Amino acid sequence: MKFLFFNGHNLYVKDKDIPKLRNGEVLIRIRMAGICKTDLEIVKGYMKFTGVLGHEFVGEVVEGDNTSWIGKRVVGEINCPCYNCAFCFAGRSRHCPNRTVLGIYEREGVFAEYTTLPERNLYIVPDNMPDEVAVFTEPVAAGYRILEQVHFSPNDCVVVLGDGRMGQLISQIVSPHVRKLVCVGKYPHKLSHLQKLGIETCLLSQWKGKNIDVVIDATGNPEAQSLALEMLKPKGTLVIKSTTEELNPINLSKVVVDEIHIIGSRCGPFEPAIKGLAEKKVKVGYMISHVFDFEDIIKAFEVAQGKDCLKVLIDFRNK
Query: Which residues bind to Zn ion, rule: CB under 5 A?
Result: 36, 38, 81-82, 85, 88, 96, 98
Q: How many CB atoms lie within 10 A of CB 183?
A: 28
Whole-angstrom distance, CA of residue 199 vs CA of residue 177: 13
To the nearest whole angstrom, how small is the minimum distance from the Cβ of residue 55 to Zn ion?
6
Residue 82 CB, shortest distance to Zn ion, in Å, is: 4
Task: Look at the alpha carbons of 88, 94, 95, 98 in this order and tell me if their dihedral is positive or negative.
Answer: positive
User: Between residues 85 and 309, which has the closer beta carbon with respect to Zn ion?
Assistant: 85
Phi and psi, residue 222, nearest 5°: -60, -25
* Cα distances (angstroms) measured from residue 108 to each of 47, 54, 97, 278: 14, 8, 18, 29
Closest CB to Zn ion among residues 36, 75:
36
> Which one-letter amino acid corresponds to residue 161?
L
- 3-class SS of residue 318: coil
Which residue, 85 or 288, is less far from Zn ion as judged by CB?
85
Q: Which is nearer to Zn ion, 57 or 152 (CB)?
A: 57
Nearer to Zn ion, 260 or 314 (CB): 314
Strand pairing class (157-161; 180-185): parallel
Smallest gap from residue 159 Cβ to Zn ion (A)? 22
Give the nearer residue to Zn ion in terms of CB position, either 92 or 280. 92
- β-strands 232-240, 212-217: how paired? parallel
Closest separation between CB of residue 156 and Zn ion, Å?
26
In the DSSP assignment, the letter for residue 17 is P
The rounded radius of gyration (Å) of the Cα atoms in the chain is: 20
Residue 153: closest CA among 101, 100, 213, 207: 213
DSSP at 20: P
Nearer to Zn ion, 160 or 304 (CB): 304
Q: How many Å apart are CA 126 and CA 161, to the nearest integer?
A: 32
Start-to-end CA distance of the chain, whole Å, equals 11
User: What is the closest distance, in whole angstroms, from the C-beta atom of residue 252 to Zn ion in the complex?
Assistant: 28
Which of these, 33, 116, 27, 31, lies nearest to 69 by C-alpha position? 27
Q: Is 144 helix (H, G, I), strand (E, B) or coil?
A: helix
Nearest approach, Cβ of residue 99 and Zn ion (Å) = 6
Spatial distance between the Cα atoms of 119 and 131, rounded to a whole number of angstroms: 20
Cβ at position 138, least distance to Zn ion in Å: 6
CB of 136 to Zn ion, least distance (A): 10
Nearer to Zn ion, 40 or 183 (CB): 40
CB of residue 96 to Zn ion, shortest distance in Å: 3
C-alpha to C-alpha distance for 35 and 111, rounded to whole angstroms: 9
Q: Which is nearer to Zn ion, 40 or 250 (CB)?
A: 40
